[in-house]
Structure 1
Amino acid sequence: MSTSLSSPAEIAEDVLAAVLEPYTYKGCRYLINAVAQASANTVVAEGNFAITESAYIRSTGHFNAVELVLCFNQLAYSAFAPAIGDGVIPAFHGWGLEDYYKHQLSSMFIRTSSSRFKRPIDATKFSARLECRNFEIVQRTVRYLRVPCAIEFWDAQGGSAYGEFELAALNIPGCQ
């Protein structure tokens, strides 16, 4: 994954706080800050994370597969929020931020996922780059937006991990 952000915008803390409230509520907000940019068919973001204490297990001493999925979710939810709020993605035309907050948990699903760990990552301080491209409306029994994503994680010591996800967004208002 080699995409860099050409004109990223910082995701405001009030947006992060609202999007990540379900994680904060359970004591597992790991995303510290993020920048993002979006077009009609692409969302790209970079974020900084810290896991001082795992929300589900005693410390393993390294970033693990469960935390990879949680961090992917947090960066993806956060990156899509300003794009939807600004009306950038046609499939979400008709939704504002409040609609997104209302639907983010009940309407967003991971359809497939895979991950690879190249070198252990220090969970106390690491970063990630997310790229979601080539959105597609799928007309089946249930209509949804297919969102292919890739994410890479790294730390200052050369730790490295990578994941691929396919998301499904249900109840989308646009592109009827």
Structure 2
Amino acid sequence: MTTATAVFVNEPGQLDEVLSCYKPHCRYLKSLSVDVFGDRIVGTGTFAIPEPCYIDDTGHLNAVEVGICYNQLLYQTMATMVRHRTGPVLADWTMPEFLRRYLPDVLIAASRNVFRRAIDSRAFTGEFVIERAARYRPGPDASERIALETRYRFWDEFGGACDGEIRVVIVDTGSAP
């Protein structure tokens, strides 16, 4: 196993700031640490969902909540990268830029999700990994974009598990065409 070149532990004030866009009962991410392995970034978080925000309690993590948890891992990991000026493609952003862009400009372009065994939504762990990041232009007159190839997994202490791969595109990088 490769040793991380940098480790950033839970930053509660930043977590509160980044998750403030969520209604209070939908702030599922409770803590996050980020490990940097060169251009590969790994965010690991703890979660708790006392009750679903939109449906009667199913007793397990469902696809809608996985999407919310994934986004919270993504946003908090990106915020940590920006704050500490580390990792691929976001090191030149400032926190005000990130806070202005993360909701309107960070889009899920493609996803694949696999549910292997039901996860107890009251207490579980998640991992978010940026495998690759690249700047690109979708056409000669188009503005620059950033593509993040990511994967995630969630698990609980009872063997519950799900995982997936998600392509994220940042459509406004602040660069002119």
TM-score, normalised to structure 2's length? 0.88
Map 1:83-98 → 2, pairs under 5 A: 83-89=81-87, 91-98=89-96
Determine if contact 1:115/1:161 at 8 Å carries over to the other structure: yes
Query: Are residues 38 and 146 of structure 1, via their aligned partners in 2, closer, same or farther at CA, if it must alter by over 3 Å?
Result: same
Pair 1:32 & 2:30 matched: yes
* CA offset digits 1:117-165 (Å, max 9, x no partner): 1110000000011111210112113421000110011100000100210
Structure 1 or 2: more helix by fraction: 1
Which residue does the alignment assign to 2:147? 146
Map 1:119-130 → 2, pairs under 5 A: 119-130=117-128
* CA offset digits 1:2-47 (Å, max 9, x no partner): 9886753213101101111111x35300001010023663221100
Query: Are residues 90 and 113 of structure 1, via their aligned partners in 2, closer, same or farther at CA, if it must alter by over 3 Å?
Result: closer
Unaligned residue ranges in structure 2 (runs of 5+): none
Query: Are residues 57 and 6 of structure 1, via their aligned partners in 2, closer, same or farther at CA, if it must alter by over 3 Å?
Result: farther
Which residue does the alignment assign to 2:39? 41
2:84 partner letter: D
Q: Identity across aligned pairs (percent)? A: 27
Determine if contact 1:91/1:174 at 8 Å carries over to the other structure: no
Which residue does the alignment assign to 2:116? 118
SS at match of 1:152: strand
* CA offset digits 1:61-99 (Å, max 9, x no partner): 110111111100001100111211222245334421121
Which residue does the alignment assign to 1:15? 14
What's the Cα RMSD here?
A: 2.3
SS at match of 1:131: strand
Query: Are residues 105 and 4 of structure 1, via their aligned partners in 2, closer, same or farther at CA, if it must alter by over 3 Å?
Result: farther
Unaligned residue ranges in structure 1 (runs of 5+): none
Which residue does the alignment assign to 1:58? 56
SS at match of 1:36: strand
Query: Are residues 87 and 6 of structure 1, via their aligned partners in 2, closer, same or farther at CA, if it must alter by over 3 Å?
Result: closer
When structure 1 is superposed on structure 2, of 36-45 and 165-174 the one drifting more is 36-45
Query: Are residues 39 and 173 of structure 1, via their aligned partners in 2, closer, same or farther at CA, if it must alter by over 3 Å?
Result: farther
Deviation at 1:48, TM superposition (A): 0.4
Alignment size in residue pairs: 174
Determine if contact 2:112/2:166 at 8 Å carries over to the other structure: yes
Structure 2 CA distance for aligned equivalents of residues 129 and 139 of structure 1: 29
Determine if contact 1:39/1:88 at 8 Å carries over to the other structure: no
Query: Are residues 93 and 131 of structure 1, via their aligned partners in 2, closer, same or farther at CA, if it must alter by over 3 Å?
Result: closer
Structure 2 CA distance for aligned equivalents of residues 8 and 169 of structure 1: 24
